[in-house]
Amino acid sequence: MMLAIHGRLTELIAMTDHNHESLEDKIGFIVTHYCRIADEDWDLFQYHILHLHHFPRLADSPENSPIGAAASLLEKAMDSGEIEPVDPYILASMALGVVLQAAQAKVFGYITGPLAARTDLFTRRVLAVICAK
């Protein structure tokens, strides 16, 4: 169960790099579909969030994880000069945290409703994290 959602999220992020031109479009696509994946099967996504710490080595390498796929995407943006060069894994963790922490808040009942209703807000905040100088 954990590997299924983990793989789906990793694939979503990895394929984005090939299907979109600008970093802003890529981030918008990832956030939109990440939220849809969560909303489509909230019970599975909730399970994933609550138990992820029990499975620190779901992937055979860091690149085969959502954070690794995001770090790779961000590293390419750094190489092309789109964003400031910083540690791509830290930046990827911070960017993914925008949505993941909100999802965790939903698990705990602090926010309600579908995550997809907030994709514009999440996208703007992820871009703020990634593009901040």
What is the C-alpha separation between 72 and 11, in angstroms, rounded? 12
Which residue has better confidence, 122 or 13? 122
Q: Is pLDDT above 90 for 111?
A: yes
Q: Is pLDDT above 80 for 57?
A: no
Asked whether the beta carbons of 39 and 115 are under 8 A apart, the reply is: yes
pLDDT score for 59: 60
For the chain, list the domains and their CATH numbers.
2-131 (1.10.357.10)
pTM greater than the 0.85 cutoff: yes
Please state, rounded to an integer, the average pLDDT across all residues of the chain: 89
Q: Percentage of the chain with pLDDT > 90?
A: 64
DSSP per-residue string spanning the chain:
-HHHHHHHHHHHHHHHHHH-SSHHHHHHHHHHHHHHHHHHTHHHHHHHHHHGGG-TT-SSSGGGSHHHHHHHHHHHHHHTTSS----HHHHHHHHHHHHHHHHHHHHTTSS-S-GGGGHHHHHHHHHHHHH--
Rg (CA), the chain: 14
Candidate from 24-28, 51-55, 57-61 with smallest mean pLDDT: 57-61
**Which residues are within 8 A (CB) of 8 and not within 5 positions of it... i.e. 6 or more apart?**
37
